[in-house]
């Protein structure tokens, strides 16, 4: 908004523009005065500017591989007083990121050509009562033994995990195990329609989850992927497959 006012103030004036935009004229004039006289900047802004110079120096002197923790410790060794969260915020603002050991993990392997089931939720992730809407996803966490994939199913009403599983590999079975645990523990059959929602599925091998539990009766077993299925009285919409992009 400040840049917009700068571009149009000569034509319309500051006050008329501020009456249209959600900004007070005094706020704009304060920012303009600080740009003209850097000594009027808040103390935090000036400290951040000085610290950014030191962060950039430490990052460059160490072959641009240091992450937040090592940059913060090096600054502390050199006598600079700064919180780790401050270093993390400034490095994020500067676009600096340390090197990561090993191969980065990906839980999202999207295929735009793959057919996408209909969204039965329409991005409205709330429910009026328990066991009406379940949300599924999976991610990975770092442990002493290595990375572990964790799948979970959350009840949108209670914001409670109703099913979960962990695995060393990202295969479909452990995601389906989380769904089966939720169905076994909660036993929602007979309580009405339950919508089970996850992100779009595109990873190889996960499409079969859209046809899982067809012993309970599918809407249309000939479709692949199947947008929904019924296990007893439970309506499952979308596939229970991936994190961020299945």
Give the whole-angstrom CA distance, residue 209 versus residue 202.
11
Q: Which of 62-76, 121-135, 190-204, 217-231 has the highest mean pLDDT?
A: 62-76
210 exposure class (CB count in 10 Å sphere: 0-12, 13-18, 19+)? buried
Q: What is the residue extent of each domain of the chain?
A: 2-94, 133-237
Look at the chain and count its residues: 246
Which pLDDT does position 191 carry in this prediction?
60
> What six digits make up the tokens of 13?
């004036």
Give the whole-angstrom CA distance, residue 206 versus residue 168.
16
Whether the model clears a pTM of 0.75, i.e. scores above it, the answer is: no
Q: Average per-residue pLDDT in the chain?
A: 78
> What six digits make up the tokens of 170?
């990202």
The DSSP code sequence of 43-58 is HHHHHHHHHHHHHHHH
Query: For 161-190, how does the pLDDT look when each residue is reduced to its tens digit (9 = 90+)?
Result: 999 999 988 877 888 888 889 888 888 866
Query: For 81-123, how does the pLDDT look when each residue is reduced to its tens digit (9 = 90+)?
Result: 999 999 999 999 999 999 887 776 666 666 667 666 677 788 8
Q: 139 pLDDT exceeds 90?
A: no
């Amino acid at each position: 908004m400040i840049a917009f006012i700068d571009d149009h103030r000569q034509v319309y004036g500051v006050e008329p523009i501020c009456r249209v935009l959600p900004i007070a004229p005094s706020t704009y004039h304060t920012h303009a005065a600080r740009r003209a006289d850097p000594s009027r900047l808040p103390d935090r802004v000036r400290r951040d500017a000085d610290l950014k110079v030191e962060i950039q120096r430490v990052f460059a002197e160490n072959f641009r591989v240091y992450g937040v923790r090592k940059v913060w410790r090096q600054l502390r060794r050199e006598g600079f007083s700064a919180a780790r969260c401050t270093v993390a915020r400034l490095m994020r603002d500067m676009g600096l990121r340390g090197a990561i050991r090993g191969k980065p993990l990906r839980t999202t392997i999207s295929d735009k050509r793959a057919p996408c089931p209909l969204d039965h939720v329409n991005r409205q992730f709330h429910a009026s009562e328990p066991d009406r809407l379940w949300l599924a996803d999976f991610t990975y966490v770092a442990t002493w033994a290595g990375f572990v994939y964790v799948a979970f199913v959350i009840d949108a009403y209670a914001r409670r995990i109703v099913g979960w599983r962990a695995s060393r590999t990202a295969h479909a079975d452990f995601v389906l195990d989380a769904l089966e645990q939720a169905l076994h523990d909660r036993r929602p059959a007979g309580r009405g329609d339950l919508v089970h929602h996850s992100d779009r599925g595109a990873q190889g091998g996960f499409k079969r989850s859209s046809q899982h539990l067809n012993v309970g009766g599918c809407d249309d077993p000939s479709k692949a992927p199947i947008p929904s299925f019924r296990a007893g009285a439970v309506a499952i919409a979308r596939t229970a497959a991936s994190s961020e992009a299945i």
